[in-house]
Amino acid sequence: MNIEDFNKAMDYWIAALDQYTFDQLLIKPSPETWSVGQMYIHLIDDTTFFIDQIRICILTNENAHAEALPFASAMLKNNDFPDEIIKGSPDNVFIPQPENKEQLLRDLMCIKEDMNVVATLMADCPFEGKSKHPGLGYFNAIEWLQFAEMHLRHHRRQKCRLDHFLFLHS
């Protein structure tokens, strides 16, 4: 896994934002599903969390021998999420709608820059610490970077479903 893969995934989401009006970003196919805008907020929030975890890992050797759960290890080995809709945390129902399209773009650009900074720090890091994912066990910095890119790719499937709904109903 390298930073170029992550940058490619981020560039996809940055460019894809152009295809939506702000009103389209707010449309939900049903009350219990996300809008495209909420999906962007989720990607921003989670990727920010992943970057924070990388920062933890590169500053310590703590949890160096802890492991990811077998399911997570398989995902990392396959470099992909399972091709299925994954029910996330119950907190996901509280994902807010975006305030505006410009803020989403600024946040995406900031995340890309932040990840590139931590990737540079990872290259010279003498530590091999790990931090705990809320449901998948322990990841090291490289695994967090890989997971961040995988997560961005995984949500492209959701984007396709939302796009189908949006453009079918517009």
Q: Which amino acid, one-letter code, is at 157?
A: R
In order of 55, 119, 138, 148, 158, the CA distances from 66 in angstroms are: 17, 22, 6, 20, 32
How many domains in the chain?
Answer: 1
Q: What's residue 170's pLDDT? A: 62
Q: Which amino acid, one-letter code, is at 60?
A: T
**pTM of the predicted model as reported, rounded to 2 decimal places:** 0.93
Q: Which CATH number is 159's domain given?
A: 1.20.120.450
**20 is in which domain, residue-wise?**
3-168
Q: Which amino acid, one-letter code, is at 83?
A: D
Q: Residue 68 gets which letter from DSSP?
A: B
Q: Residue 42 is encoded by which pair of tokens? A: 């989720």
Question: How does pLDDT run across 82-93, given as a tens digit for each residue?
Answer: 877 666 555 556
Q: What's residue 94's pLDDT? A: 83
Contact 127, 59 (CB under 8 A): yes
Q: What's residue 21's pLDDT? A: 95
Contact 160, 153 (CB under 8 A): no
β pairing state of 130-133 and 137-140: antiparallel
Q: DSSP for 11-55? A: HHHHHHGGG--HHHHT--SSTTS--HHHHHHHHHHHHHHHHHHHH
- Mean pLDDT, each 10-residue run in order, the chain (170 residues): 92 97 94 94 98 96 96 95 68 83 98 97 92 97 97 95 85
Q: Which amino acid, one-letter code, is at 93?
A: V
